[in-house]
């Protein structure tokens, strides 16, 4: 009898646990269903707003003075000394088509600038897979973008391919910053700082080589990451008519920085700048600006 009661008690407890699990599951499903309904309602609202905006724009277009616009374009256009208004209709149409194409091109250029100004942008390729684009600039000019393709597998982030420079510790960074959205944002910021600083160091070197080649005793040498740069400068000494060779070594311990962390230089000899000032200039200014500040601002003879 006791054994039968024990069996019945066990079965009852099992049924109770099963019911509790079902209640929990049903509750979770109800919550998820409520969230889905809210998302659908939000999407419907957005669609309604966009439809209203489209209808408003269509109404405005119906009353837009297109004839006046055409007349203005033709009036402002001169072809070989002749106003476009005096040209045959088929030539006028060609001018209007070209004007429309030029305007569309300008709009696309504006969009491109807005896109690139973001610095780091993402494009969803498919479910769970994203391509990140890192923009780089130097003195207001855009240079090559770098790409990183990531895949989200559960809670993990795995990279599939990239065009990032080889010296960036990508595996270590993705393993370290792999826990949630905040750390993911930190990862993207760090990667962008690496490629941005890399391009800055490289372009500084190229700028110095291009602008002041006559003062270089030999070609600038550097490591691939531009974290070590050697300058052999051949500086005309003021008043002596001769030249002084100055060797400068720049060390970049921080690969996320475009300025060196340590500078070594040979004896400046008869140059009117001492070693401490040379180091300070290269530690705080871009290469070309440091060179100009030290040797071209009335410190040496030109030529």
What is the model's pLDDT at position 115? 47
Res 44 pLDDT > 80: no
- Domain boundary (200, 231, 246) is at 200
pTM equals: 0.60
Angle ∠(127,133,138) on CA atoms, nearest 5: 175
Average pLDDT of the chain to the nearest whole number: 80
What phi, psi does 26 have (nearest 5°)?
A: -65, -40
- Does 47 fall in a domain? no
Res 301 pLDDT > 50: no
- Does 14 fall in a domain? no
Interval 148-171 mean pLDDT: 85
- Does 82 fall in a domain? yes
For every residue of 88-135, DSSP letters joined together read: -HHHHHHHHHHHHHHHHHHHHHHHHHHHHHTSEEEEEEETTEEEEEE-
| Same domain, residue pair 217 and 292 | yes
Pair 135, 145: CB distance under 8 Å: yes
Range of the structural domain that residue 88 is part of: 63-98
- Does 151 fall in a domain? yes
pLDDT one-digit tens code per residue, 167-205:
999 888 888 887 777 788 888 889 999 999 999 999 999
- Does 224 fall in a domain? yes
Joined tokens for residue 124: 């969803």
| Same domain, residue pair 224 and 280 | yes
Rg (CA), the chain: 33
Looking at the structure of the chain, the number of domains it has is 3
| Same domain, residue pair 152 and 193 | yes
Alpha-carbon span 52 to 128, nearest angstrom: 33
- Domain boundary (150, 177, 200) is at 200
Alpha-carbon span 231 to 222, nearest angstrom: 9
- Domain boundary (151, 176, 200) is at 200
- Does 270 fall in a domain? yes
Alpha-carbon span 264 to 283, nearest angstrom: 10
- Does 132 fall in a domain? yes
Pair 277, 271: CB distance under 8 Å: no
Residues with Cβ within 8 Å of residue 157, at least 6 apart in sequence: 150, 151, 174, 178, 184, 187
Alpha-carbon span 26 to 30, nearest angstrom: 6
Res 146 pLDDT > 90: yes
DSSP bridge partners of 243: 236
Res 110 pLDDT > 80: no
| Same domain, residue pair 130 and 172 | yes
| Same domain, residue pair 158 and 182 | yes
The helix (H) or strand (E) run that includes residue 219 is none
Q: What is the CATH number of the domain that holds 182?
A: 3.30.457
């Amino acid at each position: 009898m006791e054994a039968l009661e024990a069996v019945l008690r066990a079965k009852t407890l099992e049924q109770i646990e099963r019911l509790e699990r079902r209640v929990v599951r049903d509750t979770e499903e109800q919550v998820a269903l409520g969230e889905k309904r809210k998302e659908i309602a939000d999407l419907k609202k957005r669609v309604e707003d966009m439809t209203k905006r489209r209808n408003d724009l269509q109404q405005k277009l119906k009353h837009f003075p297109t004839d006046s616009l055409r007349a203005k374009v033709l009036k402002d256009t001169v072809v070989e000394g002749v106003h476009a208004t005096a040209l045959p209709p088929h030539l006028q149409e060609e001018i209007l088509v070209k004007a429309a194409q030029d305007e569309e091109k300008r709009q696309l250029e504006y969009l491109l600038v807005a896109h690139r100004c973001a610095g780091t942008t993402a494009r969803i390729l498919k479910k769970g897979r994203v391509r990140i684009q890192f923009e780089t600039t130097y003195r207001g000019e855009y240079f090559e973008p770098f790409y990183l393709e990531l895949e989200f597998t559960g809670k993990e982030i795995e990279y599939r391919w990239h065009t990032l420079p080889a010296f960036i510790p990508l595996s270590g960074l993705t393993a370290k910053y792999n826990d949630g959205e905040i750390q993911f944002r930190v990862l993207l910021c760090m990667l962008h700082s690496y490629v941005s600083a890399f391009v800055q160091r490289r372009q500084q070197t190229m700028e110095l080589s291009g602008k002041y080649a006559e003062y270089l005793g030999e070609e600038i040498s550097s490591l691939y990451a531009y974290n070590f740069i050697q300058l052999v400068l051949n500086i005309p000494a003021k008043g002596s008519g001769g030249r002084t060779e100055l060797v400068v070594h720049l060390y970049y311990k921080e690969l996320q920085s475009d300025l060196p962390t340590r500078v070594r230089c040979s004896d400046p000899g008869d140059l009117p700048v001492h070693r401490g000032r040379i180091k300070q200039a290269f530690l705080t200014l871009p290469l070309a600006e440091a060179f100009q500040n030290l040797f071209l601002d009335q410190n040496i003879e030109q030529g």
